[in-house]
């Protein structure tokens, strides 16, 4: 079976580096699939679940947005943070969710609602991806 090389990289580490059969990326304009030998693409990503199939098995990775670059059969995902489903600390994500919700509930001009909403979104998606 033909494959493509998937690299998921954050400023700290390489989270995935493997040959995969396909990947589905959370693009800002909607999900898109990438198969082996796909034409070159560059796309911005949103906070979401990056799915891929390796050795016939579906895998899930949380990504906090970033960019996907497909070139010469290598799909590079560059994200500020990323964790494989099994590496997500659910208690930490739950605590982040509670913290963000508490901030958003405060009727206080001092809170940065955009930042709290972004933190809430990351926490919700982490909790979702952790279930896989």
Q: For the chain, what is the radius of gyration of the CA atoms?
A: 16
Measure the N-to-C terminal CA separation of the chain; round to a whole number of Å.
Answer: 25
Smallest gap from Cβ 69 to ligand ATP, in A, equals 20
Nearer to ligand ATP, 4 or 88 (CB): 88
Nearer to ligand ATP, 52 or 64 (CB): 64
Smallest gap from Cβ 59 to ligand ATP, in A, equals 16
Alpha carbon distance 78, 4 (integer Å): 16
Nearer to ligand ATP, 68 or 82 (CB): 82
Count CB-CB contacts under 10 A for residue 124.
16
Smallest gap from Cβ 120 to ligand ATP, in A, equals 9
Q: Which residues bind ligand ATP (CB under 6 A)?
A: 12, 64, 81, 83, 87-89, 92-93, 96, 119, 122, 126
């Amino acid at each position: 079976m033909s494959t493509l090389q998937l690299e998921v990289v954050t400023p700290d580490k390489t989270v995935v580096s493997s040959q995969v059969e396909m990947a589905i990326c959370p693009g800002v304009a909607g999900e898109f699939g990438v198969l082996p030998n796909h034409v070159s693409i560059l796309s911005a990503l949103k906070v979401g679940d990056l799915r891929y199939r390796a050795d016939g098995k579906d895998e899930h990775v949380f990504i906090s947005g970033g960019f996907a670059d497909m070139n010469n059969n290598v799909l590079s995902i560059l994200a500020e943070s990323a964790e494989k489903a099994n590496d997500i600390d659910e208690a930490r994500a739950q605590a982040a969710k509670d913290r963000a919700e508490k901030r958003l509930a405060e009727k206080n001009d001092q809170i940065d609602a955009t930042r709290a909403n972004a933190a809430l979104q990351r926490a919700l998606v982490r909790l979702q991806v952790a279930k896989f």
